[in-house]
Amino acid sequence: MNDQSIRAGRAAGSDETGPTRRFYVRAGSINAVRRALHRAPGGAKVVGRYDRETIECQHTMNSLSYGRHWPVIHSRLEKCGLRVVAAPLPIIEGDGGEERPGHHDAGSDGR
């Protein structure tokens, strides 16, 4: 495991309190991610579908635990053929289809 793959789990970076609590997994189904994270350390769980190809997950690890448990979570996902990705940028309608940073509600369909 290299530093780049570990940093990928920090979708929005980190601050003084530790890494972000959310991470995103490229997967075709929510259940595939749930199976991969079953009984994973650090309180990792599926929040829901972020967009068509991305599943939003969260964890409850502090900075110290993150250093120990993130490689385990990352490895479990890779063994299942899943990939941790950076947070996708939502497309804002009525703005020429440009992607812009911002919060995208996991439960909304943009209507």
Tens of pLDDT, residue by residue over 18-32, are 557 899 999 999 999
Rounded CA separation 41/74 (Å): 11
- C-alpha dist (Å) from residue 106 to 30, 38, 52, 68: 13, 21, 11, 28
- C-alpha dist (Å) from residue 62 to 12, 16, 101: 16, 11, 26
| pLDDT score, position 69 | 93
Tens of pLDDT, residue by residue over 67-103, are 999 999 999 999 999 999 988 877 677 655 555 444 4
| pLDDT score, position 103 | 47
| pLDDT score, position 95 | 54
Tens of pLDDT, residue by residue over 44-64, are 999 999 988 999 999 988 889
- Spatial neighbors of 27 by CB under 8 A, at least 6 apart, are 33, 53, 54, 55, 82
| pLDDT score, position 87 | 82
| pLDDT score, position 32 | 94
- Is the predicted pLDDT of residue 111 greater than 50, yes or no? no
